[in-house]
Homo-oligomer: A and B are copies of this chain.
């Protein structure tokens, strides 16, 4: 919004005071009382609002999905239980659900994905978080390569997939336990690595805090970290980077 232009329109009468006020006070959300849907978000960030399902009451969740489905073509919900999916499907029959990643998706068919995002995991127990990242990235148009079970205790598995990893615009490294995977990948690639600690591990993993600290303290360059088990956050950020990499193509 160009404020000067808006004011000039008010001055010359091409915009009413009321309309200008609305724009300036940015009432660019849908008020539901208990929630304010950020329908301005897509214009501001290039991504439509995403529904964090966990902890929402049934009533609120259904209403939010229904309303967003009316306003947006595509809707994404994260951290949904199977019960929540049943609820959403009753008001939005087009919704689909993936129990591994716990994502609910309402999507137009025939979506094309572009670019290159590599999603790697240390072990098989990290795959649920990795899928949340991968499918989030795909939902927003990114093309994903999955490289699973390449933890550092068997380094040859990772080295065998190095070409795929090095070719990506962005690498997501998902690991629990000691989380060393991110550092090793960081030393081998040109492009950004997004590290996702998972809560997989024995007692002293502290539900993912140990892996988080590992990743934050990495000796490799070009690595930044998101919250424990936050596959969605990593996928979102990867799409932003992927989008920048593709922008002049």
- In whole angstroms, how far apart are the Cα atoms of A202 and B27 in the complex? 29
Q: How many residues of A contact B (CB 8 A)?
A: 112
Give the chain B neighbours of A123 by CB distance below 8 A: 52, 219
Q: How many copies does the complex hold?
A: 8
Tell me if B213 and A210 are in contact (CB < 8 A).
yes
Tell me if A192 and B222 are in contact (CB < 8 A).
no
Give the chain B neighbours of A93 by CB distance below 8 A: none
CB distance from A113 to the nearest CB of B (A): 17
CB distance from A36 to the nearest CB of B (A): 4
Binding site for B on A (CB under 8 A): 3-4, 7-8, 10-11, 13, 17, 20-21, 24-29, 33-36, 38, 40-41, 44-47, 50, 52, 54-57, 60, 122-125, 127, 148-157, 159-160, 169, 177-180, 183-184, 186-192, 194-195, 197, 199-230, 233-234, 236-237, 240-241, 244-249
